[in-house]
Amino acid sequence: MKRFLHFLIIYAVWLLLTWSVQWQELLVGVLVALFAELLLGDIFPVEGVKIFHPRRFFWLFVYFWVFIWAMIRANFDVAYRVLNIYLPIKPGIVKVRTKLTSDMGRTFLANSITLTPGTMTVDMIGDHLYIHWINVQSPDIQKDTEIIVRHFERILERIFE
Amino acid sequence: MSETIGYILLTVGIAFDVLGCIGLVRLPDVYNRLQAGTKCVTLGTAAILLSVLFFTGFNAISVKALLCIWFILITSPTAAHAISRAAHRSGIRLWKGSVLDRYAEDREGAEDKQ
């Protein structure tokens, strides 16, 4: 069942990429999707199946807009720092803690943190994320977690846990 | 109408790409440069690809462009993470004005165990 779902996802990507309904394209797509699934099916995250649920889709939609907004703010933040003649940066690597347990949720969290204002994920060890912050506000783990992680985690919890 | 939106998106995308490049030159060390590079270039390139949708309408070309946006959103932060982690592990220090480095603190002891 899980493998069939993977196959469908890969095949859908193939259809979008070729964007044609000629039978040669469709046939080659089936072969390619089967091959890709047999080759890489094991490393495909298990939670990928769990996400097909209306409520999770709703939160994914909400998350999408939160993420876009954060990304736009991040760009103006970088623009401000880069164009300012005094280069107002105070960089450092801080440590934060995440409550998420699923691989997929953590991947989303780490990638989102990289694309949001002033922060970039350097590494993850256990439950702790190491984050390079361009403007460190406090060295305290709890406070940093509140500022950086919390607003994404609230939504990601509902999607992936 | 849709062409106007396309031109606006194109301009915004190029502007952010330029800002990312200025960031690469001005900021001091590899980690700060990655910050500017990743954020600005991701949104800038996504905006340029999105403008393709408004120029050509919904067809084979724009669907590929939209898929490319998705791939960039996934791969660009992952690449930044891989580069910064590799840089830190190969011993590149943070800029001298940095205020703290928890990663180095936590890895001092871990070095012996590996």
Which 3 state secondary structure label does DSSP give A1?
coil
Q: Do B35 and A132 touch (CB under 8 A)?
A: yes
Question: Which B-chain residues 28-87 have CB contacts (< 8 A) with chain A?
Answer: 28-29, 31-32, 34-36, 38-40, 42-44, 59-60, 63-64, 67, 73-74, 76-78, 80-81, 84-85
Give the least confident one: A63-77, A105-119, A135-149, B10-24. Answer: A135-149
Distances (CA, A) of B25 to A76, B96, B98: 17, 17, 18
Q: Which residue has the higher pLDDT, A148 or A132?
A: A132
pLDDT for the residue numbered B113: 44
Q: Residue A125: pLDDT band by 50, 70, 90 thresholds?
A: confident
Q: Residue B101 phi/psi, 5° resolution?
A: -140, 85
Q: Residue B10: pLDDT band by 50, 70, 90 thresholds?
A: very high
Q: Residue B104: pLDDT band by 50, 70, 90 thresholds?
A: confident
Question: Which A-chain residues 128-157 have CB contacts (< 8 A) with chain B?
Answer: 130, 132, 134, 136, 139
Sole residue written with tokens 């305290």: A140
How many residues are listed for chain B in this entry? 114
**Element spanning A132, H or E:** strand A128-133
Mean of per-residue pLDDT scores for chain B? 84
Give how many domains chain B has, as a whole number. Answer: 1
Q: Does A48 touch chain B (CB under 8 A)?
A: no
Give the Cα separation of A145 and B102 in Å (integer). 14
Give the Cα separation of A92 and B81 in Å (integer). 15
Which 3 state secondary structure label does DSSP give A35?
helix
Q: Is the pLDDT of residue B88 over 60?
A: yes
Helix ranges (H only) for A41-161 are 47-50, 54-83, 103-114, 141-144, 150-160
Q: Which residue has the higher pLDDT, A57 or A47?
A: A57
Q: Do A19 and B63 touch (CB under 8 A)?
A: yes
Give the Cα separation of B47 and A122 in Å (integer). 26
Give the Cα separation of B20 and B37 in Å (integer). 5
Please calculate the CA angle A31-A36-A37 and round it to the nearest 5 degrees: 100
Report the Cα A82 to chain-centroid distance in Å: 26
> Residue B27, exposed/middle/buried by CB under 10 A (0-12, 13-18, 19+)?
buried
* Nearest-by-CA chain A residue for B100: A92
Rounded to an integer, the average pLDDT of B10-36 is 88
Domain assignment of residue B47, given as a range: 2-113
Question: Which A-chain residues 96-125 have CB contacts (< 8 A) with chain B?
Answer: 110-112, 114-115, 118, 120-123, 125
pLDDT for the residue numbered A133: 85
| Full strand arrangement of the beta sheet holding A128-133 | A92-97, A128-133, A119-125
Q: Where are the domains of chain A?
A: 2-44, 54-160
pLDDT for the residue numbered A82: 85
With contact defined as beta carbons under 8 Å apart, do B66 and B105 qualify? Answer: no
Q: Give Dmax (Cα) for chain A.
A: 61
pLDDT for the residue numbered B112: 46
**Element spanning A131, H or E:** strand A128-133
Q: Which residue has the higher pLDDT, B17 or A150?
A: B17
